[in-house]
A and B are shown apart, each in its own frame.
Chain A
Amino acid sequence: MVKIQKEDFSIEKMTTEIKALGSHIGAIVSFIGYVRDFDVSENKILLDMHLEHYPGMTEKVLNDIEKKAFSRWDLSAVTIVHRVGVLKSNDPIVAVIVASPHRNNAFDACRFIIDFLKTEAPFWKKESTDSGDYWVEDKKSDLKQKQSWDNHS
């Protein structure tokens, strides 16, 4: 399941909903991404962050990533929720919850999904700081992380 929303989410509620799908679920792994303030060394303060996306394409890409995960591992359910709009430091941005009969599949699929989301799903972050506003640049390390899955069996 894929959700794009402005509102906050409850990881507990989503986990309970997924677990209610059945007693065959032996493992649930969840990832939560938060808005992070700058390191002290960067000498600036995050006022807020604006997150935008490409409605229609975002849902399609995330559903495709979910399908890929299902075809790669034995999974019971997946929930991906991503927030848009104005967020502040410490706010949760994204959650990926993966349920499976066994933990290894849930761990691997959760990481796979967030690695692909980071590089394929059309979201953009603009940071407002006390020294100006700017669009966040993409990270080479995120791309490498995603490409590492191509070499996995």
Chain B
Amino acid sequence: MKINILFFASLRELFNSDSMEVTKPENIMSVRELLDFYADNEKGPWLELSKRFSTIRVAVNHSIVDWDTLINEGDEIAFLPPITGG
């Protein structure tokens, strides 16, 4: 199952990339599980992202969602640092 992950602002700088297409690991169901999986396995920026968990919001297909939200084929998952518009 392919999914697209987006990073904005400080997170884009952290990952040195604005997006990545990945194949969802089979046993991973929710966005929270996805983040934990990469933090455990990939470390690096993923570990740093998971440390910032309390300040980060996640959007799936342009809507902010709960971390328990299940991932579906083709989802666009965006990690959003604190919003500062206006």
Contacts and interface: CB of A to CB of B under 8 A. Distances in A.
Contacts of B80: 54, 122
Interface string A62-77: 0000000000000000
Interface residues of A, number: 27
Contacts of B83: 118-124, 138
B78 A57 contact: yes
Contacts, number: 67
A122 B59 contact: yes
B86 A114 contact: yes
A85 interface: no
A135 B86 contact: no
Contacts of A54: 6, 8, 59, 62, 78, 80
Interface of A: 33, 51-54, 56-57, 60-61, 82, 93-94, 114, 117-126, 135-138
Interface of B: 6, 8-10, 59, 62-64, 78, 80-86
> Which 6 pairs, one residue from A and one from B, show the smallest C-beta to C-beta distance?
A123-B85, A124-B9, A138-B82, A57-B62, A118-B86, A136-B84
14 contacts: A52-B9, A53-B85, A54-B80, A60-B62, A93-B85, A118-B85, A120-B83, A122-B83, A123-B84, A124-B9, A124-B83, A135-B10, A137-B84, A138-B83
